[in-house]
Amino acid sequence: MEGMMKAMVLEEPGKLVLRELPIPKPGPRDVLLKTKYAGICGSDFPIYKEGLFVPRLPLIIGHEASAVIVEKGEQVQGYEVGDRVTGTNIQFCGHCQACRETPEGELAWGCENIAVSGLGFGVDGVFAEYFLIHDVIPGVSLFKIDDRADDLEAAMCEPMCTGAGWYQVPDPKPGDNIVIIGAGIIGESVLQQLLKIPDVEIVVADYSKLRLDVAKKMGAHHICNPSTDGDTLDFVIDLWGNKEFLYNYGDRISGNADIVYECSGNAKAWAQAIQIAKPGGKVCTVGTCEGMALVSPQWIQLKQVQVLGGLYGSIGQSVEEINNGTLNVRDLATHVFSLEELNEAFQVAMDADKSIKVLIKVDKDAPDYPYNKQETWG
């Protein structure tokens, strides 16, 4: 496909510039996609602000999108021009043993040639009218979207996959007391998955009234805003009681949560999650923490808390659940901007008091939806 396209290029930290660039050409195992909607991810913030995590600038960033296949390489199987799709930001080689053996819908983390600096990190991303998915692996790096999901919903499959996969890591059980720290898109995705488990009781903590209101609407049993409700640890202790453990009899240093999901990426919250968990409890670190967390090793040792890492989930599951309507993403889409307004969109996306999920309508001919809320959320 010949021609030029519009793209917002990050030329230096904090400076996205609209450029006319040649439409990229797909290789034999690649697909060329026409972008419909794109999402701003929290991992885009440090790239935008400081140029972190990327090997070079200028670069087209962004990795969350809904799109349509407009051209494919001769070796690509299982897809046709015109298919509606979404993809992953992690690039896999597509031909090593791990890639060949990875079940459909799962990510090939055992790839021998994995390029972590993938879509929007090491290669040009989705804040452009067209982009490439390299080395396509059906059901692993590229996923079909059916007509039950619209283009805006489809652009949210990738961020919602974290909750779809990682909520299971600490093995939540019916009747568990659970705390979610952080009510952004990741925390909200974890919440929706946990609400499928019978008799759980869930506290969601965040400083954003907007995000807590949405969490309550989604079904959270309790919401805690530390700026108005007091410290999250005290809130949880007042709700469920405190637990004594070795050398800390009668001390309110330990909460009584069976599981704490740290979804904010805040270093202080990461440390407090250890305190909120009960002795023998579990902490799942889902949010990407940029700073250093000051944690007493004794809290982990004497309380016997299990700390479990989480990074990426099951995009196959989130695609299926968005296709069949069992995940509510419409209430999470608070703003929609045009491609040319991307700098403004980043400012709104980085303001937790104003937004949850900010999306970019890249294709001007893509439909608008009644839940595009930028006028009311503002």
**Who contacts 297 (Cβ-Cβ below 8 Å, separation ≥6)?**
none
Q: Could you tell me which of 107, 95, 117 has the C-alpha nearest to residue 139?
A: 107
Give pLDDT, residue 295.
83
Give me the sign of the Cα torsion angle 74, 80, 84, 90: negative
Q: What's the rounded Cα separation, in Å, for the pair 212 and 174?
A: 23
What residues pair up with 68 in beta bridges, in sequence order? 34, 84
pLDDT at 151: 95
pLDDT given for residue 139 in this prediction? 83
From residue 272, alpha-carbon distances to 120, 172, 227, 260, 323 in Å are 32, 20, 16, 10, 36
**C-beta of residue 271 within 8 angstroms of C-beta of residue 294:** yes
The ranges assigned to domains in the chain are: 4-159+314-377, 170-309
Mean of per-residue pLDDT scores for the chain: 91
DSSP code of residue 304 = T
Asked whether residue 15 carries a pLDDT value surpassing 90, the answer given is yes
Residues 257-292: pLDDT tens digits? 999 999 998 889 988 999 999 999 999 999 877 778
Tens of pLDDT along 215-248? 999 999 999 999 999 999 999 999 999 888 777 7
Q: Are 175 and 199 in contact (CB under 8 A)?
A: yes
Task: List, as own/partner pairs, every contact residues 293-296 make where C-beta atoms lie below 8 angstroms and the sequence separation is at least 24, other chains included.
Answer: 293/267, 293/268, 294/267, 294/268, 295/270, 295/271
Report pLDDT for 265.
86
Structure tokens, 101: 């053996």
pLDDT band at 250 (very low <50, low <70, confident <90, very high): low
Burial of 81 (0-12, 13-18, 19+ CB in 10 A): exposed
Give the fold, CATH level 3, of 170-309: Rossmann fold (3.40.50)
Q: What is the CATH number of domain 4-159+314-377?
A: 3.90.180.10
Q: Determine the pLDDT at residue 35.
A: 99
Mean pLDDT, range 319-345, rounded to an integer: 93
The pLDDT of residue 370: 61
DSSP code string of 91-148: B--SSSHHHHHSPTTS--TT-TT-BSS-BTTTB--SSBSEEEE-S--BTTTEEE--TT
Q: Alpha-carbon distance 16 to 121, whole Å?
A: 15
Give residue 105's pLDDT: 67
DSSP per residue over 198-259, as a string? TT-EEEEE-S-HHHHHHHHHHT-SEEE-HHHH--HHHHHHHHH-----TT-TT-TT---EEE
Q: What is the pLDDT of residue 292?
A: 82
Closest to 65 (Cα-Cα) out of 39, 33, 34? 39
pLDDT in tens, 124-181: 999 999 999 998 988 888 999 999 999 999 999 999 988 888 899 999 999 999 999 9
Length of the chain: 378
Letter string b/e over residues 170-207, b meaning 16 or more CB atoms within 10 A of that residue's CB: bebeeebbbbbbbbbbbbbbbbbbbeeeeebbbbbbbb
Q: How many helices and strands in the chain, by DSSP H and E?
A: 13, 15
pLDDT band of 375, cuts 50, 70, 90: very low
Mean pLDDT over 356-365 rounds to 96
DSSP 363: S
Q: pLDDT tens, 86-128? A: 998 887 777 788 888 888 767 777 888 776 668 999 899 999 9
If you average pLDDT over residues 64-70, what whole number do you get? 98
- pLDDT higher than 80, residue 311: no
Range among 62-71, 286-295, 299-308 with highest mean pLDDT value: 62-71
Residue 28: how many CB atoms within 10 A of its CB?
10
Residues 6 or more apart in contact with residue 101 via CB below 8 angstroms = none
